[in-house]
Amino acid sequence: MKETLHIYTRVSTRVQESGTSLSTQEQLGKDKAKQLGMKAQIWNEGSASSNHEDLVNRPKLLELMNEVEKGNVSHLFVFNNDRLSRNDVTQQTIKLALQKNDVVLYTKDGQFDLTNPQDKLFKTVLDGIASYDNALRAERSRLGKLAKVKEGYWYGAPPPYGYKTENKKLAIDKEESKWVKKIFNWVYDGKSLIWIKSQLDKNGVVARRGKFFSTGSLNVLLKNTHFIGYYYWSDKKSGEVIRCECPPIIDETVREEVTKRREISNARQNQKNRTEKFYLLRDFMVCGECGTNMRGRIDINAKGEKTQQTYYCPKKEKDWRDGVIERGNKWKRGKVGERGCGMNRSLNIPITDKMVSNLVMDVISHSTMLKEEFKDEVLKAKFASDEENQTLRKKEEKNQNRLSRKIEETRTTLADVETKRLLDEFDDYIVFSKVQKNLKKEIEKTQRELEQSRMRARELGNQKKWLDWLSTYGEEVKLQTVLSPTKKKEYLEGVLEKIEVCLDKQTLNHDLRVFFRMGLVDDKIEYKNPKKKSAGYAVIEGKKDKLLVIARADVLQLQQEARRQGRQKQVKKKGL
């Protein structure tokens, strides 16, 4: 009975699979079988990478090796040595199995008896050459990809929603970018992700894979920096991080505001009853002891009465939940753990809201910039009009596009220079070093100009927000009496940046540092000639923060007064 020559065929890519390589390997194997007087059995793997695939992912090779282990294979043919594998682990596994089972290996170049020390050594050398060649090609591929990324080419993954690829670079997709702008503007206007998803679904807008957007995919989309003109690419092997420029879709000020709102929203995501109870100041307040966003708590009894209303630092709660504070340890007031917080006293909500509102109204009413006789004149001098603001923002947008193109072109030149050096086309290393250094300096300089342009655009956006606030609330209003609670919060959002809360351990007073969006605190007028005011004046911008002390003694007195008034109301209600 004739012996069998087992013929294993494989190519590295699907493109090769459709060509003649597999049939060529098979025919050479059959010719070898005829020459040896054996019958042929074909094991066709089709396309499979020799470097990244192991035996588990190579079903035909695994099946063949099972037959080797059973002793059913004595003669094996492969087109050349690396058809079995260039992967070091897989390579050694196969070699040991063939040696252990006395299998003779044939290739188009000859025969290997792996029980023979000389053939065994030769096979090891060929395995090493195949691994080296594969590693070299992989490194060349990596360096080529790195050079392309530096030149501004997209790295091959599907482009982000809102973009398409043109000439292998990111370009704005007209239809998708329209919805990207809408999504950001909706979030900017305070719409929820669930509401935004419903609007997208109604209009048949689908994500990149053809499915409707989820709130999760919208969250991911809102994090992308691509939409303001750049993204980062990281080379896994070297760890090098490259900043790449791309066409912007949205205004950077809009994204910045959206990011702030999303951060606040995410920080509050575990807040109980966050949609049911209204807090005027909670979203502004930050613990000055540990930096945690403060929370609010309003407890209501069975009669519908508010029994507790407090702003507090949730750091202790988080530490208990995360296991930082051991469950068995009883918490004591004033005791600060390894990662604890010294803010161990809460603030009364009604009193805090009233005192902060009074402070804000006092600052605004005394602000020179906001006084009726100076407001229009001062703000016109300080800020551009809506029309001028829009013109300036468009100018900065054009400037940013120009600078981005310049960075891209300079990077392309740098990549070409470095490639020539790798190919030894630069004879003089000193000249190469100078050219490389100058190009890198030019890129850094242009990047600084681009960042300055973006900062100017952000400032113009902030001016626009301030002007919008003035158009709505510019007339003198009384925050406590005229506006509804929701409008009060909108009013405060226009003028306040944040409120830092600290606890004085000696007096137990709360120190609130109230930060304004503009320098309204103690701004003033300086006349060029105090005796002749018609000679003109200059408005000196004030500070952006003011300290408010909520004294423990005052709070206790106000609480007693509130309880006394409450008892009087009960007496009147009962007619006593």
Q: Where are the domains of the chain?
A: 4-139, 151-267, 275-370+480-576, 372-473
Task: Yes or no: say if 410 and 443 are a contact pair by the CB < 8 Å rule.
Answer: yes
Q: What is the pLDDT along the chain (576 residues), one digit of tens a residue?
A: 678 999 988 877 554 444 447 888 888 889 989 988 999 999 888 876 544 455 656 778 878 888 888 888 899 898 876 666 666 667 777 777 787 788 888 888 777 765 666 555 555 655 655 664 665 566 667 777 777 787 778 877 888 899 998 888 889 999 999 999 999 888 877 788 888 888 888 888 888 777 888 888 888 888 888 888 888 888 776 777 888 888 888 877 777 777 777 766 665 554 444 446 788 999 899 998 888 888 888 887 776 677 788 999 988 777 666 555 554 555 454 454 445 677 888 898 988 998 998 899 888 888 877 765 555 555 555 555 667 767 877 888 888 888 888 887 887 787 777 777 766 666 677 777 888 888 888 888 888 888 788 777 777 776 666 666 766 666 655 565 667 888 888 888 888 889 999 998 888 899 999 998 888 898 887 777 766 656 666 778 889 999 999 888 777 777 676 666 665 555 455 443
C-alpha pair distances (Å), 317 with each of 233, 255, 270, 312, 314: 38, 31, 11, 11, 5
- The phi, psi pair for 309, rounded to 5°, reads -140, 105
How confident is the model at residue 512, as a pLDDT? Answer: 93
Radius of gyration in angstroms for the set of CA atoms belonging to the chain, rounded to a whole number = 36
SS3 45: strand
d(CA 333, CA 350): 24
How confident is the model at residue 574, as a pLDDT? Answer: 46
How confident is the model at residue 397, as a pLDDT? Answer: 80
CATH of 151-267, one of 3.10.105.10, 2.60.40.1730, 3.30.1370.10, 3.90.1750.20: 3.90.1750.20
How confident is the model at residue 545, as a pLDDT? Answer: 92
How confident is the model at residue 511, as a pLDDT? Answer: 93
Residues 6+ apart with CB under 8 A from 495: 360, 364, 469, 516, 517, 518, 520
Q: Which fold has domain 4-139?
A: Rossmann fold (3.40.50)
User: What is the separation of C-alpha 342 from the centre of its chain, rounded to a whole number of angstroms?
Assistant: 32
Task: Yes or no: say if 11 and 22 are a contact pair by the CB < 8 Å rule.
Answer: yes
How confident is the model at residue 125, as a pLDDT? Answer: 52
Neighbours of 509 (CB within 10 A): 18
d(CA 431, CA 60): 55
Task: Yes or no: say if 40 and 5 are a contact pair by the CB < 8 Å rule.
Answer: yes
d(CA 539, CA 490): 27
Q: Which two tokens stand for residue 557?
A: 């007195």
Predicted model pTM: 0.48
pLDDT tens across 377-436, in order?
Answer: 555 555 556 677 678 778 888 888 888 888 878 877 877 777 777 666 666 777 778 888
- Region of residue 332 (left: phi > 0; alpha: psi -120 to 50; beta: else): beta
> Helices 215-223 & 174-188, crossing angle to 10 degrees?
90
How confident is the model at residue 52, as a pLDDT? Answer: 47
